[in-house]
Amino acid sequence: MVTIRDIAERAAVSVSTASRALNNNPRISRETRLRIQSIATEMGYQPNYNAKTLTNGEANAVGVIFPPGDMSTAANPFFVDLLMGINTQLRLRNAVLSVAIANTTEELTKNVLALISQSLIHHFILLYSKANDPVVELLKSQGVQYVLVGDPTQDNERYVNNNNRLAGAKALEYLNRHFNSRHVLFVESEMEQGFEKQRRLGFESAAQQLGVKRELLKLPDKAMQHLDQAVAQYLDNRRDIDGIMTTDDLIGMMVYQLTRQQLNRQVPLISFNKSQSNILIGDQVRFVELYPQHMGEAAVRVLFSETKQFEMLPFTIEKV
């Protein structure tokens, strides 16, 4: 392992000079700075971040906090992309990614506390939001930085998000404009995540504006024996539906097939959250791309920004 000492020696300077040079301290002459840096890369120097953390009192790691078990399904397909985005930004800053994840809020809290006090992590990204969350309390009481991915529940909370309401509205407009939909069904799950609600609100207001007739179908929370039959029947009673919006891909797929089968025609459909599956596809299928990877990147930017309180990310409507 090549240390800062080795470099100092080789460059015939003191360790402090070496340290400063490597950290771009302006007090070092440009000349020696560059010389030392080139020696460092030449020797394959890799700073020991544990030593750094020990002296700085602050880790180069960012903690990513997953939802506790009981709500972990929420944004599932998103997570990998989010992590990807977060980590690309972290790597640019020579930081690393730690995760906190547990089945219960209690365990999760312990986990986060351990990261704070044992690893000296002072920066967190929270992948869920709920009211009165003990984890958030902890973060605040420990005075560490965090940003939320999703809908903020408190004032003065830093976050990144999509404008789900706008997306809901635009999606409906899209259906109306491109497929001439005049009677649109909005399908959501029972659990009423914040983002679903926003999308519905956007959908509703746009429908009203455009004079589009709207239907609302809430799928039961728990698995239901004959869900598909129930949906089929529902559709059968509304045979002139000519557009569908669903809050996720999977639901989208089911409904899509059922409509084809039940109404005996293809109904234009727009869904959120294109999942990795490449199954839901067709001429009249669209989805709202939310760019989870970009959200991850934005989260890191906000986290390390001095001033920025939030970032609202763009979305697009795409053919599959």
Partner DNA sequence: CTGTTAGCGCTTTCAG
Partner DNA sequence: CTGAAAGCGCTAACAG
CB of 178 to a copy of itself, least distance (A): 18
**Exposed/middle/buried for residue 155 (C-beta within 10 Å: 0-12, 13-18, 19+):** exposed
Phi and psi angles of residue 217, each rounded to the nearest 5 degrees, phi first: -125, 125
Which whole-number Å values give the CA distances from 192 to 73, 138, 151, 165, in the listed order? 13, 26, 13, 14
Q: Which does 43 bind (CB under 5 to 8 A by kind): DNA, a copy of itself, none?
A: none
CB of 290 to a copy of itself, least distance (A): 16
Cα 301 to Cα 295: distance, rounded to the nearest angstrom: 10
Q: Which does 250 bind (CB under 5 to 8 A by kind): DNA, a copy of itself, none?
A: a copy of itself
Residue 145: half-sphere exposure toward Cβ, Cα within 13 Å:
18
Q: 51 or 216: whose CB is closer to a copy of itself?
A: 51
Regarding 305 and contact with a copy of itself (CB under 8 A), the answer is no
Only one of the segments 54-62, 166-174, 210-218, 250-258 lies at the binding site for DNA (rule: CB under 7 A); that segment is 54-62
Phi and psi angles of residue 131, each rounded to the nearest 5 degrees, phi first: -70, 145
Give, for 124, the enclosing helix (H) or strand (E).
Answer: strand 123-126
Regarding 218 and contact with a copy of itself (CB under 8 A), the answer is no
Q: Which two tokens stand for residue 189?
A: 């799950």
Regarding 92 and contact with a copy of itself (CB under 8 A), the answer is no
* Binding positions for a copy of itself, rule: CB under 8 A: 1, 46-51, 53-54, 59, 61, 64, 66, 69, 72-73, 76-77, 79-80, 83-84, 87-88, 91, 94, 96-103, 107, 110-111, 114-115, 117-120, 222-228, 250-251, 253-254, 257-258, 260-261, 275-279, 281-283, 320
